[in-house]
């Protein structure tokens, strides 16, 4: 179990940093006018130099990856129902992901924050409905097989 958690932490960190850099690439395309911006200017302004801002961005995007990697363990708690798993996963990931995304990349306006919150919630609702339908179909198949064996 400890090895699995360590693998999730390391893998989550690496995946989080890679995805963060992909996001930063696209953000940079929109703001840097032909050059690459390692961090957005608003985030850069929080630090004494750009290197500290870049390192902090790597650590924060790595933290997002670790959070999602470890929060996936909630779906392995068999005694919890699917709804409880999703609710706990939603709140744990939202508490980490939303503030970091706002700090790193979002212009700080009420409209942008509301848009981010709505997209995060919308994604969860769609994902939950999809997983619910898949689980329901799987349960029906298992029940049909059990009925057939009798």
Query: In terms of Cα–Cα distance, which of 58, 20, 40 is closest to 105?
Result: 40
pLDDT at 75: 87
d(C-alpha 116, C-alpha 121), whole Å: 9
pLDDT at 108: 81
Cα diameter, the chain: 72
pLDDT at 53: 95
Residues 121, 125, 130: CA angle, nearest 5 degrees: 150
37 pLDDT band, cuts 50/70/90, is confident
Query: In terms of Cα–Cα distance, which of 112, 17, 31 is closest to 68?
Result: 17
| pLDDT digit string, tens, across residues 38-95 | 999 899 999 999 999 999 999 999 999 999 999 999 988 989 988 899 899 999 999 9
**What's the DSSP call for residue 35?**
S
- The answer to whether 89 and 73 are in contact (CB under 8 A) is no
Average pLDDT, the chain: 90
pLDDT at 148: 79
Instruction: Dig out the tokens for 39 from the structure.
Output: 């961090």
Alpha carbon separation from 33 to 10, 23, 24 (Å, rounded): 34, 16, 14
pLDDT at 132: 83
Alpha carbon separation from 4 to 1, 19, 43, 74, 96 (Å, rounded): 5, 22, 34, 14, 22
| pLDDT digit string, tens, across residues 93-107 | 999 999 999 999 888
Model confidence, pTM: 0.82
């Amino acid at each position: 179990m400890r090895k699995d958690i360590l693998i999730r932490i390391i893998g989550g960190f690496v995946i989080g940093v890679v995805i963060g850099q992909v996001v930063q690439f696209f953000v940079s395309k929109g703001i840097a006018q032909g050059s690459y911006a390692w961090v957005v200017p608003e985030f850069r302004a929080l630090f004494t130099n750009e290197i500290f801002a870049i390192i902090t961005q790597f650590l924060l995007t790595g933290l997002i990856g670790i959070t999602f990697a470890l929060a996936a363990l909630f779906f392995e708690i068999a005694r919890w129902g699917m709804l409880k798993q999703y609710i706990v996963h939603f709140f744990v990931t939202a508490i980490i992901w939303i503030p970091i995304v706002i700090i790193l990349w979002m212009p700080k306006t009420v409209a942008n924050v509301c848009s981010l919150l709505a997209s995060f919630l919308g994604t969860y609702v769609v994902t939950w409905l999809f997983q619910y339908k898949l689980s329901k179909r799987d349960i029906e198949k298992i029940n049909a097989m059990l009925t057939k064996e009798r």
